[in-house]
Amino acid sequence: MNHSYNLNEALKARAAAQQEHKRENGEIKLDDLSRVKVLSPGRQVFKRFIRNRLAVFGSVMLILMFLFSFLGPVFYPYGQKQIFYKYEPRNVDYGMVKENTAYTGYDIDGGAGVERSVNNKMNSIIKKMVAGDAQAQTVIGEERGYLVEKLADDVYRASASEFAEVCTVGSGEAVVGTYSMVGKKLENAKNPAEGLEAAIKAAIAKDAKGGTFELDGVTYTYTRGKAKSYEITAAYDGIQYADEAMDAGFEDALNAAMQAENGFEYDGSFYAIVKQGDGAKAYRLSNLAPAKLYSRLSVSTYEVGQKISAEMNLAALLATAGDGTFEAEGKKWTIAREDLEWIVRDEAGEEFMELMPYAVRRYNGDDTMEYGLKKALMEKALQMDRDGEKVGTITYGLPMQTDTGEYVTDEEGNLSYQDTELKLSRRDTGEFVVNCQQVIYVINMFDAPSKEHWLGTDGDGFDVFSRIMYGGRVSLMVGFVVVFLETFLGVIMGGLSGYYGGWVDMLIMRLVDIFYCLPSMPIMIILGALMDAMRMDTYIRLLIMMAALGIMGWAGVARLVRGQILTLREQEFMVATEATGIRVKDRIFHHLVPNIMPQLIVQATMGMGGVILTESTLSFLGLGVKHPLATWGTIINSVSSASAMQHYAFIWIPVGLLICVTVIAFNFVGDGLRDAYDPKAKR
C-alpha cells in the first residue's frame, strides 16, 4: 500500500483536535498551534511586501496605470487617431475681385474655328490691338489667315480665310530656278528674265564650280547642286510679285502698311503683312468667314446661381456690336452699355444680367456671390484702383451665421443678413482679395482642456487624453516585451555559462563583456536614423526597436544568473539531482532557475522602468515610435518647441508626470520585492 504522510494534513488534524480541547477546557497552552501561525514562503514574502508602504504605493499606481492604459480606451469614446473639428470665426479669404485680362474664345455657330497656334496667340494679339487702339489686325497662321476685328470694347471677332502670297518686299535673295546640265535648259523657273538661259550657259562655261553673273542689272548667283544641276538665285530689292503684278495704288497702301506694321484693306480685299528679316511678305486674304468671338467680359446674373447658356452669352456678346437687341432662349433681350458694364434687360425692361470686365468670385472660384455684393466690391476695387490705394474696407450685409456655421433664416426661409466688414487688399499681381470674418469648419488644434477633451487636443486635433491612454499601452507593452526578451536570453546564456563553466563559461562571459561594453543609446539612435532613412513602417519599427533593446540588455541578466548558479550548484540539492541522474536540461531549468526566480523578478521589475525611460527618450527624439502611433515620448515631442512648450503645458506636463509615476512605481515595487525576498539585505 502506498502510504503517504502529509505534514499539512497532520497539522490541520492536530489543530482541530486542540481547538476541540480548548473549547472544552477554555484554556490555551503555550505551544498551542493556534498561537503560532505558520505562513508559506510565498505568504511571508507577500506579508513583508505589503508592510512596505512605498511598495504598496507603487503596486497601486501600477495597477491603476494598467487599468488606465488597457481598459481606459474601451470606455473612452475617442480613438488615438481621431481628428476633431470645430466651428470657429476666422478671418478668411472670402472672395476675389479681379480684372479680366484673358480673352475667352467663344465658337460662333457654323464658324470655321481658329487653329490652335493662332488661338494661343490671340490674347497677346488683342492686347496689342488694345494698346495700339487698332480696329483690325491680320494674322497668318499655318493653315489659314485671320482677320481680327474689334466689334466693341472688349469684344473682338476673328474671321478665318484662305491666303495666298502676293509679293515680297525688301531686299534679299530668291531662288529663280535650276539649270540642268542634262537637258541643258532652265527648269522650275518662274518668270525668268529674258536671256537668263544664255547667260547661265556662258557663266558655267567660264566657271563650272559656281559664281555670279549679272543680267539686266540683277545679280544672279549659281551654285552647283546635286544631279548635275545648278541652282540659280537672284538678289532683289523692292517688291517682287509672286504672280501677277498689282497696280501702283496697292504698292502705296503696302508701303503705308509696312510703316504701321499691320495688314491693310485695298480694293475690297484684306492683305496681311508678315515681317521677314528686313523685308516682309504680303498675303491676300480671301473668303473671310467669322470663326470665333473673343471677349474678356464675364457674366453676372442678378439672381444668384442662375445659369446662362453658351448661346445666350454669345448672342449677347454679338449684340454689343449690333443694334443692342438679340434673341436667345426663346426670348428677346436688349443690351446697353453703362460705364464699364453691359446690362442685359428682358422685354419688360427688367435687368437680367450684366457683362463686365471684372470677375467677382468667391475665393475658391465659385460664382455664388449676390449681385449687389459683387457690384459693391467691384466699385470699391475700381475706386481703389483709381486712387492707388492698397487697402480698403466696405461694410455689406452677408448671410448671418450661427456658431456652428449654419446660415440663419427667418420664418419664410429667407436668409438673414448681418452687416460685415469686408477688407479688400490689393495684391502685387493686380487682383483684390476680400477678407472677412466667417464661421468655418477647422481642425480643433491645441484646444485647452474642456468637458469634451479633458486634456485638450494636440497639434493634429487628436484628443490628448485618449492618446495618453494608447501611448501607455505602447510604452507598457514595450517594457514587458523587452524585459521578457532580455530575461529569456539572459537566463539561457547565464544558465549555460554558470552550469557548465570551463570554456563555455569563458566564451559566454566574453560575449557578455562585449554586450556590456556596447553603447546602447548611441546604437538605438543610429538604428532609429537608419530606419528613418529606410522609411520603415511604424509598427515594424516598434518590433525592431523592442528586439534591439532586448538583445542589448541581456548581458546584465546573464551575469546575475551565472553568479547565482555558481553558488547554488555547489549545494547539496544539486548534488542530489546529479546523483538521481536528472537530465542536464531539467537540472538547470527545473532546479537551478526556480531558485534564482526572486532575483530575476526584482531585476525584471526594475528593468521595466529603465526600458520605459529609454523608449520614451527615443520617441521624444523622434527616433523611436513614429507619429501617428501614440507613445508618451511622441506626445511630449509634439509640443517641445519653445512656444508650444509655453502655451500647451496642459499637454506635456501630465504626460511627463505619467512617465515619472510609472517608472517610480516599477522601481518601488522592485525595491519592495527585493526587501521582501531577502530581508537580511536590508538590515
Partner 1 sequence: MLKYTVKRLLYSVLILFFVMFIIYILMYNMPSGYVETKARELASRPGATKSYAEWLEDLNAQYGMDKGVVGGYFVWLGNAVRGNWGDSWAWTIPVTQEFHNTVWYSFALGFASFIFEILIAIPLGITAARKQYSFTDYFTTVVAMVCISMPTFFVATVLKYVLSVKLGWFDLSGMQGRDYMTLTQFGKILDVAKHFVMPLITLVIISIGGLMRYTRTNMLEVLNADYIRTARAKGVPEKTVINKHAFRNTFIPLVTMLGGTLPGLFSGALITETLFSIRGIGYASYTSMTQADIPFIMFYLAFISILTLLGNLISDLLYAAVDPRVRLS
- Which stretches of the chain bind partner 1, using CB under 8 A? 54, 510, 513-514, 516-519, 521-523, 525-527, 529-530, 532-534, 609, 613, 616-617, 620-621, 623, 633, 636, 640, 642, 645-646, 649, 652-653, 656, 659-660, 663-664, 666-668, 671, 682-683
Question: Residue 542 is which amino acid?
Answer: L
d(CA 320, CA 569): 110
Those residues with Cβ within 8 angstroms of residue 85's Cβ, 6 or more apart along the chain or in another chain:
441, 442, 443, 444, 461
Give the nearest distance from C-beta 522 to partner 1 in angstroms. 6
The residues with which 212 forms a beta bridge, in sequence order, are: 221
The residues with which 274 forms a beta bridge, in sequence order, are: 281
Based on CB atoms, which residue is closest to partner 1, 401 or 599? 599
Q: Are 50 and 42 in contact (CB under 8 A)?
A: no
Based on CB atoms, which residue is closest to partner 1, 283 or 632? 632
The CA-based angle 324-325-327, given to 5 degrees, is 145
Give the nearest distance from C-beta 556 to partner 1 in angstroms. 14
Give the nearest distance from C-beta 485 to partner 1 in angstroms. 18
Based on CB atoms, which residue is closest to partner 1, 457 or 475? 475
Those residues with Cβ within 8 angstroms of residue 445's Cβ, 6 or more apart along the chain or in another chain:
457, 458, 459, 460, 461
User: Could you give phi then psi for residue 408, rounded to 5 degrees?
Assistant: -90, 135
Based on CB atoms, which residue is closest to partner 1, 484 or 516? 516
Give the nearest distance from C-beta 483 to partner 1 in angstroms. 16
Residue with cell 532575483: 599
Give the number of other Cβ atoms within 10 Å of residue 640's Cβ: 12
d(CA 631, CA 612): 10
Give the nearest distance from C-beta 498 to partner 1 in angstroms. 20
Based on CB atoms, which residue is closest to partner 1, 84 or 516? 516
Give the nearest distance from C-beta 616 to partner 1 in angstroms. 5
Based on CB atoms, which residue is closest to partner 1, 52 or 69? 52
- Residue in 290, 329, 325, 296 with CA at minimum distance from that of residue 310: 329
Question: What's the grid cell of residue 479?
Answer: 517594457
Give the nearest distance from C-beta 626 to partner 1 in angstroms. 14
The dihedral over CA atoms of 605, 606, 607, 610, expressed in degrees to the nearest 10, equals 130
Based on CB atoms, which residue is closest to partner 1, 535 or 585? 535
Integer angstrom CA distances of residue 570 from 239, 565, 574, 677: 124, 9, 7, 22
Give the nearest distance from C-beta 645 to partner 1 in angstroms. 6
Based on CB atoms, which residue is closest to partner 1, 341 or 671? 671
Based on CB atoms, which residue is closest to partner 1, 51 or 275? 51
In the 3-class helix/strand/coil scheme, how is 377-422 assigned residue by residue?
A: HHHHHHHHHHHCCCEEEEEEEEECECCCCCECECCCCCECEEEEEE
If you compute the radius of gyration of the chain from its CA atoms, what whole number of angstroms results?
49
Q: Are 542 and 618 in contact (CB under 8 A)?
A: no
Based on CB atoms, which residue is closest to partner 1, 35 or 535? 535
Give the nearest distance from C-beta 517 to partner 1 in angstroms. 5
Q: Are 297 and 356 in contact (CB under 8 A)?
A: yes
Helix, strand, or coil (residue 662): helix
Based on CB atoms, which residue is closest to partner 1, 461 or 670? 670
Based on CB atoms, which residue is closest to partner 1, 263 or 609? 609
Give the nearest distance from C-beta 60 to partner 1 in angstroms. 15
Give the nearest distance from C-beta 490 to partner 1 in angstroms. 18
Q: Are 305 and 194 in contact (CB under 8 A)?
A: no
Give the nearest distance from C-beta 678 to partner 1 in angstroms. 13
Those residues with Cβ within 8 angstroms of residue 167's Cβ, 6 or more apart along the chain or in another chain:
239, 240, 241, 242, 246, 254, 281, 282
